[in-house]
Amino acid sequence: MLDSYLPILVLIVIAVAFAVGSVIMSRLIGQKKPGEVKLAPYECGMPPVGSARERLSIKFYIIAMLFIVFDIEAVFLYPWAVMFKRLGLFGFVEMGVFIIILLIGYVYVWKKGALEWE
Amino acid sequence: MNAELLSLSNAPWLYIGAMLVKILVVFGVTMGIVAYATWAERKVIGHMQTRLGPMLTGWHGLLQPIADGIKLFFKEDIIPSQASRVPFILAPMMILIPSLITIAVVPFGTDLVVNVGGKAYAIPLQITDLNIGILYILAMAGLGVYGITLAGWSSNSKYSLLGGVRASAQMISYELAAGLAIIAVFMLSETLSMREIVLQQSGSILDWYVWKQPLAFVLFLVTGTAEINRTPFDMPEAESELVSGFCTEYSSMKYALFFMAEYANMIVVAAIMATLFLGGWAGPTPWGPVNLLGKIFAFMFFLMWIRATFPRVRYDQLMKLGWKVLLPLALANILVTGIVVVLQQ
């Protein structure tokens, strides 16, 4: 069974070698004329103001949390989808209940305004 | 004469040789398409805007990708003094490597039968057939988000950070909708193996899953475009407001790796779409790899066409589309598919 993962390992080795190799090659071949201004973070030609590690909108964290909830739902749906025809009506009702519980949560999230970006 | 499926146990050396040849061919073809997709994109968009595109390097600019590659090799590799060095160097590789290895499970032809020492072996034209092929693809696609987020954060530049955070929120939102959209296909196919899914569609064009799951196909088309950050969903780059988004501070080959990853991702999404919905290598012509490449090229042309046609959407519109339209539609599609299948039984 694990045989089928051997080609992926070989492909990973080739892909890593290609990525690392091309970065190292350009590092060796490319010219190096560093300067204080050149190494500063880009800010439209102005001297950079403050740090870039600022606080971010809370929206992004909410999206990350919602993603985890719904992605776990998707993870449960995959094995169910593959077995679906064999489970028949029983499987459909079971998963229907699961999806409806999640839909209630989804409606709650929507009503609370977590999906608003204005 | 019945051909035996080639495996590591029945003919180890032949298996390893065939594996290496397949990997090198697929890798080479992918990199070739990546290089010439940059040329094709400039040409296609150029002609759509009644320009000529690159014309000077070689006949109709055909040597342009090679010239670009050599140029990028010789450019100075700048690492900003305030950047976090290790993640800054690793990020472009973390984006490119997953997109290159995803292609491993895409089948590209019928079994090739070879005779060795009086025995016939069938070599599947696919680097490897995992029974969880689609889960592998989704897992690898998910890894790409780390690279973009790290690239944005480690640059320590405001544009990069905003681009990186936007990109990660966009990619996880659309990954969700994409993952839910294709579940409806597996309810019909009863397998996650890419090889099996193509074989189920190999009868005729009418067997393609796009006819049974048109909504899932459209959903995957939209989410796929957003997932690989193409126009009209190229918010992470958004050059009119964020300079170049998460790759603002990158130069030389590191910048080239981001570019290669973008085109490699286009190939991967096109290959997944062709395999799940459009019959993969099976049909309409008898030559497997030609069919698959034709479908991939058609999709890539479609993406370039979209880029020349539509303006970029606003970020709030993007998130609204993902969470309030595509996600409920994908769930509804699963329920409707479920009802239809149960009623048929």
Q: In chain A, positions 89-118, which contact chain B (CB-CB < 8 Å)?
A: 89, 92, 95-96, 99, 103, 106, 110, 115-118
Give the model's confidence band at B284: pLDDT under 50 very low, under 70 low, under 90 confident, else very high. confident
Residue B1 has pLDDT above 60, yes or no: no
- Residue-wise pLDDT for B65-111, tens only, equals 888 888 888 888 888 877 788 888 888 888 899 988 888 888 888 88
Which parts of chain A have pLDDT scores under 50?
A: none
Q: Cα torsion at A12, A15, A19, A22 (round to 10°)?
A: 140
Question: What's the pLDDT score for residue B14?
Answer: 83
pLDDT at B231 over 80: no
B223 neighbors B326 (Cβ within 8 angstroms): yes
Contact A92 B339 (CB under 8 A): yes
Residue B326 has pLDDT above 80, yes or no: yes
What is the C-alpha to C-alpha distance for residues B334 and B181, in angstroms, rounded to an integer?
Answer: 8
Chain B residues in contact with A42 (beta carbon < 8 A): 157, 159, 243, 248-249
Residues A95, B338 contacting (CB under 8 angstroms): yes
Q: Where are the domains of chain A?
A: 2-112
What does pTM read for this prediction? 0.88
Would you tell me how many other CB atoms lie within 10 Å of the CB of residue B115? 10
B267 vs B240, which has greater pLDDT?
B267
pLDDT at B236: 67
Check CB contact under 8 Å for B249 and A36: no
The structure tokens listed for B336 are 């409707």
Residue B8: phi and psi, rounded to 5, are -65, -25
The angle, 0 to 180 degrees and rounded to 10, between the axes of the packed helices B327-344 and B158-189 is 10
Question: What average pLDDT does this structure show over B306-326?
Answer: 86
Reported as a single tens digit per residue, the pLDDT across B21-73 is 889 999 999 999 998 998 999 899 899 988 888 888 888 888 888 888 888 88
Nearest-Cα distance to chain B for A111, in Å, is: 12
Pick among 3.40.50.20, 1.10.3720.10, 3.10.20.740, 1.20.58.1610: CATH of A2-112: 1.20.58.1610
- Tell me what ipTM this predicted complex has: 0.85
Name the CA dihedral angle for B175, B222, B288, B193, rounded to a multiple of 10 degrees.
30
What's the confidence (pLDDT) of residue B218? Answer: 92
Residues B110, B291: contact at Cβ < 8 Å? Answer: no
Of B165, B328, B334, the CB nearest to A60: B165
pLDDT (0 to 100) of residue B238:
65
Give the gyration radius of chain B's Cα atoms.
21
CA–CA gap between residue A73 and residue B29 (Å, rounded): 36
* Contact residues, chain B, for A85 at CB < 8 Å: 187, 190, 341, 345
Cβ of A37 under 8 Å from any chain B Cβ? no
Contact B76 A81 (CB under 8 A): no
Q: Does the beta carbon of B102 lie under 8 angstroms from any beta carbon of chain A? A: no
- Is there a contact between B130 and A5 if contact means CB atoms under 8 Å apart? yes
**Percent share of chain B, pLDDT over 70:** 97
Q: Show residues of chain B in contact with A81, CB under 8 Å.
A: 183-184, 186-187, 334
Q: Number of A:B CB contacts under 8 A?
A: 215
Nearest of B316, B164, B144 to residue A52 by alpha carbon? B164
Among the listed ranges A20-24, B60-64, B209-213, B232-236, which one has the minimum average pLDDT value? B232-236
Please state whether B264 falls in left (phi above 0), alpha (psi between -120 and 50) or beta.
alpha
The pLDDT of residue B2 is: 66
pLDDT, position A1 = 63
A66-86: b (≥16 Cβ within 10 Å) or e: bbeebbebbeebbebbbebbe
